Amino acid sequence: MEMTQRGHVLDDSWYLDYAAGTLGTEAQDVMMASHVELSDEARGRVAALEMLGGAMLDASDSGEAPLGFSVEDILRRAGDEPDAAVTAAAPVAAAPDADDSLCLPQALQDYLARTGTPVRWGFLGPGMRKAILWRGEHGERLWLLRARPGVAIPHHGHNGSELTLVLKGSFWDGDQEYRPGDVEEAHPGVEHDIRIGEGGECICLALTEGKLKFESPVLRAFQVFTGL
């Protein structure tokens, strides 16, 4: 059964946890802050959930009955108030080895500068490079993918969840195109082929749990060197 989120935004639970500050890891915070920074729709969802949460608190404090509107109602209202989303944090010092061509969102730049994490590119495959930014205790990784136009990422599956946020360029998963600010979510059981768009180089921020699953023995052996 396919469990890929076939859209350019995530399930509302992600935005609710982000707005409430209850995401599980710093890497998830960075991923979501970058997504919200780049996506108008994501900012609208966060603003809607914050408005809904505030209204629910007001109703609770006043002893009124539960509110009679949904997140979708608030989303429509938030669309008229684009500045209602959380204001981005003030910029900090430049990240180590900063490269303006990467088009990194400010949230990610701030994280790299605060933690002193350099962006060090390593070979991933023909026309592709990767830079590991963070490793978790249970095989999680936050990393950057940099790929040339037209490159195809071989058919693969997933041992854990994967969030992929487009920072620059585009990629295709089947007949769905993902552009800057769009995020795709995949879970165990998903198998797909990714193709980089022809319009220019593509840079993505990915948060993965466990290693990818390849059918080819050659690619599985190659994972020893890529770490993915």
Tell me how far CA of residue 101 lies from CA of 87, 97, 121, in angstroms: 24, 12, 14
- pLDDT for residue 60: 53
Q: What's the CA gap between 52 and 55, in Å, rounded?
A: 5
Is 192 within a domain? yes
Q: What is the mean pLDDT of the chain?
A: 76
pLDDT band at 212 (very low <50, low <70, confident <90, very high): low
Is 203 within a domain? yes
110 and 218 in one domain? yes
117 and 74 in one domain? no
Write the pLDDT tens digit of every residue in 146-203.
999 999 877 666 566 889 999 999 999 888 899 999 998 887 666 667 899 999 999 9
222 and 114 in one domain? yes
The residue among 53, 84, 115 that closes a domain is: 84
As a whole-number percent, the residues of the chain with pLDDT over 90 amount to 41
138 and 171 in one domain? yes
Is 3 within a domain? no
Q: What is the DSSP string of 173-226?
A: ETTEEE-TT-EEEE-TT-EEEEEE-TTS-EEEEEEEES-EEES-HHHHHHHHHH
185 and 107 in one domain? yes
φ, ψ for residue 13, nearest 5 deg: -60, -35
Write the pLDDT tens digit of every residue in 59-68.
554 555 444 5
Is 122 within a domain? yes
- Total domains, the chain: 2
73 and 16 in one domain? yes
Residue with token string 């693969």: 156
165 and 56 in one domain? no
Torsion-angle region of 50 (φ positive above 0: left; ψ -120 to 50: alpha; else: beta): alpha
204 and 124 in one domain? yes
The residue among 84, 111, 136 that closes a domain is: 84
Is 93 within a domain? no
104 and 16 in one domain? no
Q: What is the CATH number of the domain that holds 159?
A: 2.60.120.10
202 and 133 in one domain? yes
Is 7 within a domain? no
215 and 124 in one domain? yes
- pLDDT for residue 7: 63
- pLDDT for residue 224: 40
Is 92 within a domain? no
197 and 119 in one domain? yes
The residue among 84, 119, 134 that closes a domain is: 84
- pLDDT for residue 38: 96
Average pLDDT over residues 52-62: 54
Residue with token string 């991923």: 31
Q: 33 by DSSP, 3-state: which?
A: helix
Is 62 within a domain? yes
Average pLDDT over residues 88-95: 43
Residue 46 has pLDDT above 60, yes or no: yes
What domain range includes position 18?
12-84
